[in-house]
Amino acid sequence: MLDGTTAEIRERQHLRVNPAKTCQPIGAMYAALGVNKCMPHSHGSQGCCAYHRSQLTRHYKEPVVATTSSFTEGASVFGGLANLKTALDNIFTIYNPDIVSVHTTCLSEVIGDDIPMIIKKATEDGIVPEGKLVIHANTPSFVGSHVTGFANQCKAFVTYLAESSGETKNVVNIFPGWVEPADMRELKRLAAGVGVEFILAPDTSDVLDTALDGEYRMYPDGGTSIPQLKAMGDSFLTVSLGPLSSKPAAEALEKKCKVPFKDLEIPYGVAATDAFIDALRLAGDTAVPKELEKERGRLVDMISDMSQYLHKKKVAIFGDPDHLTSMVSFLVEMGMEPAIVISGTPGKKWEQNIRNICAPVNPDVEVRAFSDIHFLHQWIKNNPVDLVMGNTYGKYVAREENLPFIRFGFPIMDRVGHRAFPTVGYMGGMRIVEKITDAMFDKRDREDPDHEVELVL
């Protein structure tokens, strides 16, 4: 498939080939699915909604439910007011959610639909039943990426729902960033282990990884409840994981309800997990339980055991900025050398942050925001690496260059373990080390002569 990719690199300003990102509404849809009895609604054409649902369904291997305003030529010219009002009427009549979260698309943004006005008009006309809620987030696909859409949707939940009663409660809010359902479950386990009361929002565990019991539920049991979202305004602290995906919501909550926040990286690896655990420990004035200390020790032991095989191995990695920041840090902790780091999301500050992280092991690391997998492939042809990490689309590069490949990030459409097994925390760190060493030894087992294939490490 990639036989035509040449090693000659030409700077491209107006073209991306196989970009390492997708569009905002996908992120908004994913965040909305993390709220209990919430119906994500795509204010645009049917094709947009179908694509967004398809990407999420293929990644999570679960049916993703969402509705659409079904724009036609008429809505494109005269606006989507009538379409959205009709859609809301149908949604509450047929599907009966507790809340509808409207996110925009390119078309509705370009024509300039005033979504708050339309929601207000629908409420005044009795289309929105009493006790039900409709909120919105602006998510134009021509700006940012799916991570931006996730952040905008999380911020919208705060803007519309968070309330302050004036009574501060001994609760910590956790904004997890865009991570897998298994990761959200692991974050809750870690927080509970430290002994703090918390609200995690959004929470896609038990929504996009539900148990098969023979009964279909449009609204699974999981997800952050509306009362929990409202109560976030009374918490005494917010811990936001991922500056791009979670910090906007934390900032909005601080501005609206005076809840201070601590901005951390997604807890991949030792140091980032330490920072998360320590923030919760200090917030709750508790002690870290022995079991978590043992988990940490097992991760450190595994890194030590495998260091002879991972030391100075060069890695090409691409994905979302928040994921990359923590994962690159973890690679450095393992003694590996990030050689090229690519994101499809714009961000000059992020580029410099990655260079700072890599400085101790590789000060010449190639870092590109708003780039693509095509450039990554060309760079690899000129600068050989030992490992490729990224979403499913990276497998074509890895296959063409005969390199070990670790699936990481979004979307992963040809494997299932990512939604079932966490990569955050100490346990998740052990899984990452296992996956990396397995992939590198599988290559050696295939290619090395028999006398060099060790039976035992």
Amino acid code (one letter) for 317? I
Per-residue pLDDT, 4? 65
**Quick one: tokens of 184?**
């959200």
On the question of a common fold for 24-160 and 291-452, the answer reads yes
Q: CB within 8 A of 423, min separation 6: which ones? A: 179, 180, 183, 268, 408, 429, 431, 432
Residue 2 scores a pLDDT above 60? no
Question: pLDDT band for position 198 (50/70/90)?
Answer: very high
Q: How high is the mean pLDDT of the chain? A: 95
Residue 1 is predicted with a pLDDT of 45
pLDDT of 7 reads 81
Count the helix, strand and coil residues of the chain and give each as a percent rounded to the nearest 5: 50, 15, 35
Q: What is the pLDDT of residue 368?
A: 96
Strand order in the sheet with 405-407: 366-368, 337-343, 314-319, 387-390, 405-407
CA 72 and chain centroid, separation: 32
Half-sphere exposure of 41 (CA within 13 A, CB side): 31
Looking at domain 291-452, its CATH architecture is: 3-Layer(aba) Sandwich (3.40)
- Could you read off the pLDDT of 389-439 as tens digits, one per residue? 999 999 999 999 999 999 999 999 999 999 999 999 999 999 999 999 999
- Identify which of 217, 183, 184 has the alpha carbon closest to the alpha carbon of residue 202: 184
Q: Which pLDDT score, from 0 to 100, does residue 168 have?
A: 96
**Which of helix, strand or coil describes residue 264?**
strand
The residues with which 342 forms a beta bridge, in sequence order, are 318, 368
Give catalytic residue positions.
106, 110
Tell me what the mean pLDDT of segment 151-171 comes to: 97
The yes-or-no verdict on residue 383 having pLDDT over 70 is: yes
Domain 169-288: give its CATH superfamily.
Answer: Nitrogenase molybdenum iron protein domain (3.40.50.1980)
Position with higher pLDDT, 371 vs 4: 371
Q: What is the DSSP string of 42-54?
A: EES-HHHHHHHHH
The model's pTM: 0.95
Q: Which helix (H) or strand (E) holds 133?
A: strand 133-137
Which band of pLDDT confidence, cut at 50, 70 and 90, is reported for residue 16? Answer: confident
Q: 6-10, 69-73, 119-123, 179-183: lowest mean pLDDT where?
A: 6-10
pLDDT digit string, tens, across residues 294-350: 999 999 999 999 999 999 999 999 999 999 999 999 999 999 999 999 999 988 999
Report pLDDT digits (tens) over 268-279.
999 999 999 999
Q: Could you tell me if 392 and 407 are in contact, meaning their C-beta atoms sit under 8 angstroms apart? A: yes
Query: Chain-centre distance of CA 87, in angstroms?
Result: 28
For residues 27 and 150, the answer to whether their CB atoms sit within 8 Å is yes
Q: How many percent of the chain have pLDDT more than 70?
A: 99
pLDDT given for residue 3 in this prediction: 64
For the chain, which residues make up each domain, given as ranges?
A: 24-160, 169-288, 291-452
pLDDT value of residue 346: 86
- Token pair 């097992």 is found at 298
CA distance 402 to 346: 30
With 70 as the cut, is the pLDDT of residue 107 above it? yes
Confidence of residue 10 (pLDDT cuts 50, 70, 90): confident
The pLDDT value given to residue 15: 80
24-160 CATH, one of 3.40.50.300, 3.40.50.1980, 3.60.20.10, 2.40.110.10: 3.40.50.1980
pLDDT tens string 87-100: 999 999 999 999 99
